[in-house]
Amino acid sequence: MTVEDKRSRYSADFDLPVRGDTITAERYISKDWMALEMKHLWPKVWHLGAVTAELEEEGDIVRHNFGKDSIIMVKQADESIKAFYNTCPHRGNRLILGDVASTPRITCGYHGWQFDPAGTLVHVQDPDDFADGNPCGKLHLTELRCDTWGPFVFWCMDDDVAPLHEWLAPYPERLAGYGLDNWVRVLNVSADCDFNWKIIRDNFNESYHLPTIHPELGTFINDGLPDTVFEMYPTGHNAMWMKGHQATTRKDHASGEVPAPLDAIAAAWGVDPAAYKGHTGDIRQAVIEAKRKLGPDRGYTNYDQMTDQQLVDYFHCTMFPNLTLTMSPEQCQILRTEPHPTDPEKCVFQHWCLYPPVKGMKEIETPVGVAPLRHDAIHRHSTYGDGVSVGYVADQDLSIGTTQQQGLNSRGFKGFHLPLQEKRVQRFHELLSDYVMGTA
Ligand code: FES
Ligand SMILES: [Fe+2]
C-alpha cells in the first residue's frame, strides 16, 4: 500500500479548495464573534423547525425558540404552513409560550389581542379607541419564509436566500430514494450543553474521532480512509459515505470471524456469519442481496428505490451551518446544535430520529432504547451531564464538548492543525468566516 492509498479520498466531482486560514479559539469564546454570527449568519440560512406530522390541522402550531428569537409555524386552512415571529404587534409580548399548541385564535396573554392562523388580527379590546380606526383585519403578525422538504418544515428570516430546495442541494435529489416523506419521528430529545455550538459541528464534519470516541462502531462501520468518500458542495454542505455492514479496515477484522454485532445483523437477514470467516468484508454484499430479496416481504417498501450503497451504507449529510442528517435505509438521524441566547460557551443540542413505517412493526430500537413506533414516543429535554442519555453515540460525542471548550480557552492554543481528512472542518470555518465578515 502506498502513502496515497492511506490518505483520505475526496470525490473528484465534489472537492473544493480551501485557503488555509488559521482557525483560532476566538470564534468559540468571544461574545463579539457570537454577535456577528447572530447578525450575519443565522438570518441568512434555512432552519429546520418542525416535522409536518406536528402540523396536521388548521391552527396547529409548533414553536421554535432560536437564540433570543422565537418562531412559530402555523398550519393553514389550505394545507400550507406559515411561519411568524412569535411577538405581539401591540407591545411585543411573546405570544405562544409552549413548544406546541393548537388554536383557532392565537391570543396574546397581555391585553388579549387575537390573531387567526393566517396571522391577521381579528379581535382587540376597545376597537374604536385607535386613531386610525379598528386595526382588525389590517394588522398582521410578522411573517417569514416557510417551506417543506419531505417530512421537514424549514423557516428562513431572509428574503434573498435561495429557495429551500435549491439551498438544500444536492440532498433532495441524493436522498430521494430513501422515501423520507412518511417517516415517523420517534425520538425527539435535546440538552443544554456547556460548549460553543461549533464544537459538535466540527465533530460531525470529520470521522477522525471514530476510533477513539466510538471504538465499537468499527465492528460494523468501515471508517478506514481508503473506503470512505468525502464530498463538498458549492452550497457549503458536505457529506461522507461510509461503508456499513463491514468492519473497519483500520484493524484486521477481515481475516477472522465476523465481529459482533455484525454477525447478528447479518443473521437477521438470513446470512450465515460462519460462512464469511476469513473474508468478513464480503458480508456487506451478501446483506445487499438478502435485503433486495427479503426486504419487501418484511414491509420495507422503501428498499425498491434505493441503490445498493444506500441499502447498507451510512450517508452522513452535513448541511451548512448546523444540521446533520445521517441516513441508513431504516433510520434518519438528525443532529444539531444551536447557539445559546447570550453565552458563546453554551449551546442546545438536539437529536431526532425518524423511521420508515413498516407494516406490523410496533416498536423500534432507538439510540436511547426500544420505543413504540409512533410520533415523539421519546420526547425530553435535559442538561448534559445530568445522566440523561441523548443517544449512546451522541453521548460519546458530547463527552468531549466541555473539555474541548476548556482547552480552547487556554492561552497555549494557537489554532487548528488539521489532517487532510478534516478539510471539511477547514472549509466550514472558512465559509463561516465569509458569512461573519459579510463576504459570503
Ligand atoms: S402586547 Fe399583546 S395584546 Fe398587548
Ligand atoms: Fe461522533
Q: Where are the domains of the chain?
A: 3-42+179-436, 46-160
Element (H, E) at 427: helix 423-436
The ligand that comes nearest to the alpha carbon of residue 367 is 2
Looking at all shown ligands, the one closest to residue 210's CA atom is 2
Q: What residue spans of 330-400 are helical by DSSP H? A: 392-399
Q: Which residues contact 17 (CB under 8 A, 6 or more apart)?
A: none
Residue 351, exposed/middle/buried by CB under 10 A (0-12, 13-18, 19+)? buried
Amino acid occupying residue 154: F
pTM of the model as a whole: 0.96
Q: Distance from the CA of 158 to the center of ligand 1, in angstroms?
A: 26
Nearest CA to ligand 1 atom 1: 91
Helix, strand, coil tally for the chain in percent (to 5): 30, 25, 45
Query: Which residues on adjacent β-strands are paired with residue 70?
Result: 65
Domain 3-42+179-436 bears CATH identifier 3.40.50.300: no
- pLDDT tens by residue, the chain, 440 residues: 344 466 667 888 899 999 999 999 999 999 999 999 999 999 999 999 999 999 999 999 999 999 999 999 999 999 999 999 999 999 999 999 999 999 999 999 999 999 999 999 999 999 999 999 999 999 999 999 999 999 999 999 999 999 999 999 999 999 999 999 999 999 999 999 999 999 999 999 999 999 999 999 999 999 999 889 999 999 999 999 999 999 999 999 999 999 999 999 999 999 999 999 999 999 999 999 999 999 999 999 999 999 999 999 999 999 999 999 999 999 999 999 999 999 999 999 999 999 999 999 999 999 999 999 999 999 999 999 999 999 999 999 999 999 999 999 999 999 999 999 999 999 999 999 999 998 88
Residue 49, all three cell numbers: 423547525
pLDDT score for 440: 80
**Across 263-362, where does the E strand assignment appear?**
314-319, 323-328, 331-339, 347-355
Q: Which atom of ligand 1 is nearest to the CA of 112?
A: 3
**Cα torsion for 280, 281, 286, 288, to the nearest 10°?**
140
Distance CA 407, CA 24 (A): 12
Place of cell 472542518: 425
User: Do 237 and 320 touch, CB atoms closer than 8 A?
Assistant: yes
Q: How far apart are CA 60 and CA 72, in angstroms?
A: 10
Residue 261 amino acid letter: P
Q: Give nearest CA residue, ligand 1 atom 4.
A: 111
Q: Ligand 1: which atom is nearest the Cα of residue 91?
A: 1
Ligand closest to Cα of 95 equals 1
CB atoms within 10 A of CB 359: 8
For the CA of 92, the closest atom of ligand 1 is 1
Nearest-atom index, ligand 1, CA of 111: 3
Q: Name which of 8, 51, 3, 433 is nearest 240 in CA terms.
A: 8
Q: Which of 85, 93, 130 to mutate to test the pocket of ligand 1 (most atoms within 8 A of CB)?
A: 93
The whole-number pLDDT of residue 2 equals 45
Nearest ligand 1 atom to the CA of 108 is 2
Torsion angle of the four alpha carbons 389, 333, 424, 239, in this order, in degrees rounded to the nearest 10: 160
Instruction: Give the DSSP letter of residue 382.
Output: E
- What lines the ligand 1 site, CB under 6 Å? 88, 90-91, 93, 108, 110-111, 113
Which residues touch 275 (CB under 8 Å, ≥6 apart)? Answer: none
Q: Which CATH class name applies to 46-160?
A: mainly beta
Closest CA to 321 of 405, 230, 237: 237
Residue whose CB lies within 8 A of the most ligand 1 atoms, among 84, 87, 88, 121, for a mutation test: 88
Query: Is-same-fold flag (3-42+179-436; 46-160)?
Result: no
